[in-house]
Structure 1
Amino acid sequence: MTQYITPELRRWLQEQLQSGVKATDLVISMTQAGWQRKLALQAVAELKIDGWLGTAEAPRPAGLPEPDLADGASLIDAGDRQIQVLATVQHPRVVVLGNLLSRDECEAIVAAARPRMHRSETVAEQREGSEVNTARTSSGMFFERAENPVIERVEARIARLLRWPVENGEGVQVLNYQAGAEYQPHYDYFDARHASTASILKRGGQRVGTLVMYLNTPRRGGATTFPDIKLAVQAVQGQAVFFSYARPEPSTLTLHGGASVLEGEKWVATKWLREGRFS
């Protein structure tokens, strides 16, 4: 059975640490209860490293990608398209967007990606590179920046919408989730403890924002979930969800996942934004 660190577990661990329970005793207690030792060590280490800031928002550094939400704007001019602001959350910064992509654009991206799909991987923890992870049961591919006219147009729109340079974005990744596929809760920033992180950061620094664009509407399931804040964003063709994270820490509350597709399939396009120029 796959195990992962849930918000409920982190809150319980926080309470134990604050009450004076030793970290080593917590790890022993978790392993005796059936938790994998590696996961128990990771859970306790994360809390000790970031001091658990809870829901108190730390100062937001200048220079994060961000739509212009001044004066409660409900529409944002992205150059060639008016983007709808459907919902916002302050902490973590989450913005649900409508009318980001047209139906034709969604279908064109899927058509270009479909022949190049392969089993999705995640950043390897113990070695350089990536690896298949049972927590992620999708297939995917990456476009190069400006690889075709549709991708180039969408990237320019995103840059204007989020006020972030095109060159600071990774190539668009397209993912396909068949019925039963999911991506269990995770963070998008690069973990300093992973072997690959040092080399990854040389190519533009940390990730600071994520934009998930929905290329179709599954018949049931497939929402993007944020367990820390009990938020679920339904996958609706042409819409998107954006979130940013000022620090590579769980205190950003950006734990998120792709809920299991219950009927039909789900296609998404993800754009990750870096601190600096991505090469």
Structure 2
Amino acid sequence: MPKPGAAAQTATPALRKWIVEQADAGFAPDVVLASMLASGWDEAVAAATLHATMAAHQHQAPKPAAAPVPSPALDGSPLWLDAGDRQVAVLSVLRIPRLVVLGGLLSDEECDALVELARPRLSRSLTVETQSGGEEVHVDRTSDGMFFQRGENPLIQRIESRIAHLLQWPETHGEGLQVLQYQPGAEYKPHYDYFDPHEPGTPHILERGGQRVATLIIYLQSPELGGATLFPDVQLEVAPQRGNAVFFSYDRPHPCSQSLHGGAPVLAGEKWIATKWLRQHEFN
């Protein structure tokens, strides 16, 4: 990396070139920024240069074609959405990225039941290993979690049917519901949920149902402090309020979707969430 000079720091062509090289190599923006700070760059200069360079690079780079995505019925700016067996409140909507904050997706009783069913089956959360298409423990993700099989029991069946109705997407096109526990200090650093088309393990992953095209995060237990869901590209924080959810879609596996997101560290108490990933095709 080009080192900053002793005088007032300014972005140089060499620095911008280095940032693009790191992005093309697959390093997340927070990792690139941390490397710049460790090399002596002023935080304000580094952050501004990183943001401007990546915005220009993403605008110039060829983008994959857009795909159909799940979506609630938002025409007419409704206050409530029909989820089949339940009315769900619309609390906030963003158009770019495609994001909706939903109120009361699950009842308190459903949240408690999911936590209790998941608790004895928890283990350290894994991430996708992009070279092989397998899974691995990663320092960026420090929660514990488990997966329910699709349709595993009546509670899961009811929730999956509600999600499919709400998002107008077939139940068969969803992965199994994942439940995660975040204890104090646990977090998930900013990342994308889609599978990077440039990674060698991606073709193997896509055999099971195509790309991920949307994510639904449901809050099952609120921590006392911390644990917000962060969307760095749009400077948005979603509070982890029990029973509520945040839905966002990404019509192409590319940073232009602005679907970068993460889970802020829990500072006190425990956060429990359920995550549903939706695929292009039937997931098996």
TM-score, scaled to structure 2: 0.81
- The secondary structure found in structure 2 opposite 1:108 is helix
Match status 1:180 vs 2:185: yes
The equivalent residue for 1:145 is 150
Partners in 2 of 1:106 and 1:263 — Cα distance?
20
Matches within 5 A, 1:197-208: 197-208=202-213
CA distance 1:72–1:130, change in 2 (3 Å): same
* Compared CA separation, residues 246 and 269, structure 1 to 2 (3 A): same
Q: Distance in 2 between matches of 1:145 and 1:72?
A: 31
For residues 96 and 207 of structure 1, the distance between their equivalents in structure 2, rounded to whole angstroms, comes to 19
Q: Which residue of 1 aligns with 2:89?
A: 84
Match of 2:280 in 1: 275
Identity %: 52
Structure 2's unaligned 5+ residue stretches are 1-10, 23-31, 40-49
Aligned residue among 257, 260, 264 for 1:259: 264
Secondary structure at the aligned position of 2:166 is classed as: helix
- Output the aligned Cα RMSD: 2.9
User: What's the CA shift for 1:198?
Assistant: 1.1
Within the candidate set 59, 67, 75, 1:53 is matched to 59
Question: What does residue 115 of structure 1 align with?
Answer: 120
* Alignment CA distance shift 1:66-1:111 (3 Å): same
Q: CA deviation at 1:196?
A: 2.4
Aligned to 2:45: none
CA change 1:177–1:206 in 2 (3 A) is same
Is the Cα contact below 8 Å between 1:124 and 1:195 reproduced in 2? no
Contact 1:123–1:196 under 8 Å retained in 2: no
Aligned residue type for 1:95? V
Contact 1:124 1:194 in 2 (8 A): no
Equivalent pair of 1:227/1:256 in contact (CA under 8 Å):
yes
In the alignment, residue 52 of structure 1 is paired with which amino acid?
Answer: Q
What's the CA shift string for 1:215-262, capped at 9, x where partnerless? 011111100000110000000110000000011011111110000001
Mark the runs of 5 or more structure 1 residues left unpaired by the alignment.
1-14, 36-42
Change over 3 Å in CA distance of 1:178–1:33 after alignment to 2: closer
Matched, 1:215 2:209: no
Give the deviation of 1:197 after TM superposition: 1.2
TM-score after normalising by structure 1 = 0.82
Instruction: Quote the Cα distance in structure 2 between the aligned partners of 1:122 and 1:275.
Output: 20
TM-aligned CA distance change 1:78 to 1:132, over 3 Å: same
2:244 is the alignment partner of 1:239: yes
Instruction: Kindly state the Cα deviation for residue 32 of structure 1 after the two structures are TM-superposed.
Output: 8.5
Aligned equivalent of 1:23, options 17, 21, 24: 17
- Quote how far apart the aligned CAs of 1:194 are: 2.8
